Amino acid sequence: MLPDYIYIMFFLALGIGFVGSAFAVSWVLRPKVPENAVKNAPYECGEVVKGTSRVQFNVRYYLFALIFVVFDVEILFITPWAVVFRQMGMIAYIEMLIFILILALGLGYAWKKGALEWQ
């Protein structure tokens, strides 16, 4: 059993070493001080920059994206369950009902708080 873990540790150390060496090389080769103010300015396809580059987004965009991701991941969990549902039996059915109930409660909470209203 120990030789199996030696291979894993070897590849883990190799991966950490590879990433660490990439960081070290980039740190050594990077320019230390910007040459002038033009190099620090944002570049927008040759156009002169007007105003700041900071743009504020409404938090509702993030809420909608988060809700979408939650239900997208839900579909990723439900699809394989539906494929093997007949072999898993009643316990799997009850577990999936609990899973869907928890997500429905979260959706109800978001709906009640007004996270799904766009005004």
Domains, the chain, with CATH or none: 2-113 (1.20.58)
The pLDDT value recorded for residue 60 is: 81
The pLDDT value recorded for residue 70 is: 86
Beta bridge mates, 47: 44
The pLDDT value recorded for residue 97 is: 92
pTM above threshold 0.85: no
- Let me know: does 68 contact 75? Beta carbons within 8 Å: no
Which residues of the chain, if any, have pLDDT below 70?
A: 1, 34, 44, 53
DSSP 30: S
pLDDT, tens digit, 9 for 90 and up, residues 4-21: 789 899 999 999 999 999
DSSP 54: -
The pLDDT value recorded for residue 32 is: 77
- Let me know: does 41 contact 84? Beta carbons within 8 Å: no
- Using the structure block, give the residue that is written with the tokens 């590879």: 18
